[in-house]
Amino acid sequence: MKFDILTLFPGMFSGPFSESIIKRAAEDGLIDIRLHDIRDYAADRHKTADDAPYGGGAGMVMKVEPLAACIEAVRAERRNSRVILTTPRGKRFDQALVSELANEEALLIICGRYEGVDERVRELFVDDEVSIGDFVMTGGELAAMVIVDAVSRFIPGVLGSADSSASDSFSDGLLEYPQYTRPAEFRGRGVPEVLLSGNHREIAQWRRRQALQRTLATRPDLLATAQLSDKERDYLEELANGRRS
Ligand SMILES: C[S@@+](CC[C@H](N)C(=O)[O-])C[C@H]1O[C@@H](n2cnc3c(N)ncnc32)[C@H](O)[C@@H]1O
């Protein structure tokens, strides 16, 4: 998977991309991340990348010409890139979108700054507008890092164990069950007996029920689309009505 990130602040990426799994994936050639400084594509002497908004109002807007030149330069090399604009008004970035994006050959991610980018960038070049949540950050760089990180986990070989993403939260429409590791007791708190039992069928059943309980408690909206058996739906109804704990 190839990622091209268009930003006014390429220096922000050096930390997150030079540690741990993302660093290893890049070294192994599983992902290829390239940073492009939008300012390099500004034509004037001062490398101007922003200007005041037409119609007045607070703040500045990222100019269309440097962004257009930068996007076109990248796309000359990567014709099949899917172009993503980071913006709070985009569609919500969730695990379904992550797995969809992981099937692409290349992603070109535009990081906005100031009051955002000139609307003509969206009209002319953008395939998807993506928001990482209902809040506003100072720029799209952190959103780009989130996208690269989450999408990379779906690239075969990036995660150590083949099934470590299969049980993640959202993979089956539910939040993940609780995890424990040694010691078996800490400050009077033990590990649930069933996890020490070695009985794989009971462990799987306990985990599934915990996932159902957690999802019902904190993200009941996910249950509407989760794949559930009739028995599991009955179990949830009993939980919701307080007939189960
Ligand atoms: C200060 S924000 C602009 C906010 C814009 N004026 C608005 O109200 O929608 C600057 C840039 O940060 C990025 N950004 C901020 N919040 C974001 C979010 N929740 N998801 C994705 N990108 C975001 C976008 O690239 C945006 O262009």
Q: What is the pLDDT along the chain (245 residues), one digit of tens a residue?
A: 999 999 999 999 999 999 999 999 999 999 999 999 999 999 999 999 999 999 999 999 999 999 999 999 999 999 999 999 999 999 999 999 999 999 999 999 999 999 999 999 999 999 999 999 999 999 999 999 999 999 999 999 999 865 567 778 887 899 999 999 999 999 999 999 999 999 999 999 999 999 999 999 999 999 999 999 999 999 999 999 987 76
Catalytic residue among 104, 168, 172, 232: 168
Q: How far is CA 177 from CA 62, 180, 195, 222, 235, in A?
A: 44, 10, 12, 15, 16
Tell the residue number behind the tokens 């590791």, with chain if given: 181
Amino acid identity, position 204: A
88 classed as catalytic: yes
Closest ligand 1 atom to the C-alpha of 132?
20
Instruction: Sort strands 82-92 and 189-190 into parallel, antiparallel or unpaired.
Output: unpaired
Catalytic: 19?
A: no
Catalytic annotation, pick one of 115, 128, 129, 172: 115
Rounded to the nearest whole angstrom, what is the distance from the C-alpha of residue 137 to the centroid of ligand 1? 6
Distance 119 CA to ligand 1 centre (A): 13
User: Is 153 among the catalytic positions?
Assistant: yes
Contact (CB, 8 A) for 142 and 130: no
- 115 catalytically annotated: yes
Q: What is the pTM of this model?
A: 0.94
